[in-house]
Amino acid sequence: MEYFLQQLINGVTLGSIYGLIAIGYTMVYGIIGMINFAHGEIFMLGSFIALTVFLALAALGITFLPVVILIMIIVAMLCTALWGWTIERVAYRPLRGSFRLAPLITAIGMSIFLQNFVQVTQGARVKPLPPQIQGTITLLDGPGGIAVQISYMQIIIIAMTIVLMTAFALIISRTSLGRQQRACEQDRKMASLLGVNVDRTISLTFVMGASLAAVAGMMYLLYYGVIDFYIGFIAGVKAFTAAVLGGIGSLPGAMLGGLAIGLIETFWSGYFSVEYKDVAAFSILAIVLIFMPSGLLGRPEVEKV
């Protein structure tokens, strides 16, 4: 029982990171019906920007951890938001009215470009960061020396995910921007006729998704302490899988899918084999989509006539 609870905590932590990245996928798809395959690389850029800020602050003698983390979050979110806006403006907006395959090819090309850009500028070697937030809380002492523990870093990740998820849900449900996003999701042409600035709404959606990915990248850096130019592709594929599993276009579905993928990977690694954790995750995705093509919380797509 203790081992199960420990794996549950680890899975929720990993799933929270996947969920934050998956929200970016599902927001973009919900509005313009396009998969932004460069979103995983935005997550990777966020982690590299956070590491750069941390090293710069350390060089300046600023080591008070709460201040350092706050500055890392702000700078990473601002920089990735700018990247997200630029990618949408340069790579996706000109192809918005083209055939559906063109934006997909552009997204894959942008993903490869960002990977190679970071590889050339930062090098291909792994970038380590010593643990900054240490300490654990023992929740349960079991027989045989097995204890259920949760680290302070895990608490921060889970709490930050809950706060951000709640904030974004409120933005989408209760603000003018959220109403514009929902209008564009239903019918972009009609939203434009009613006075909604569709281009600005889509750009802000990319900016919001990129900001969430930056937070996920920073938490990944602090939690695992190791990053490289390739983490965006791996995490991006997992987060896209989470968005599809939860129901592409649904924010709660993206979070639920992220938690599901994190739990599947963690439990499979803990009880079976680490080498086949990806096989388990994608196999369960295939099984779910066979019986629930719209995902766990997705809505069937209605064709307009």
Dihedral sign computed on CA atoms, order 69, 74, 77, 80? negative
pLDDT, tens digit, for every residue of 74-111?
A: 999 999 999 999 988 888 888 877 777 888 888 889 99
Report all structural domains of the chain as residue ranges with CATH numbers, in order of start: 1-291 (1.10.3470)
Interatomic CA distance for residues 120 and 114, integer angstroms: 10
263 Cβ neighbours under 8 A, 6+ residues apart: 8, 11, 12, 15
Does this model's pTM top 0.75? My answer is yes
pLDDT, tens digit, for every residue of 114-161?
A: 999 999 999 889 999 988 888 888 888 767 667 888 999 999 999 999
pLDDT, tens digit, for every residue of 265-293?
A: 999 988 888 888 888 888 888 888 888 88
Q: Which residue has the tokens 């003698």?
A: 61
Q: Considering the chain, what is the average pLDDT of its residues?
A: 87
Interatomic CA distance for residues 227 and 40, integer angstroms: 13
pLDDT, tens digit, for every residue of 226-247?
A: 999 999 988 888 888 888 888 8
Interatomic CA distance for residues 282 and 287, integer angstroms: 9
| CA-wise closest residue to 16 among 234, 235, 188, 228 | 235
Q: Mean per-residue pLDDT for 166-170?
A: 87
The pair of structure tokens assigned to 92 is 């996706």
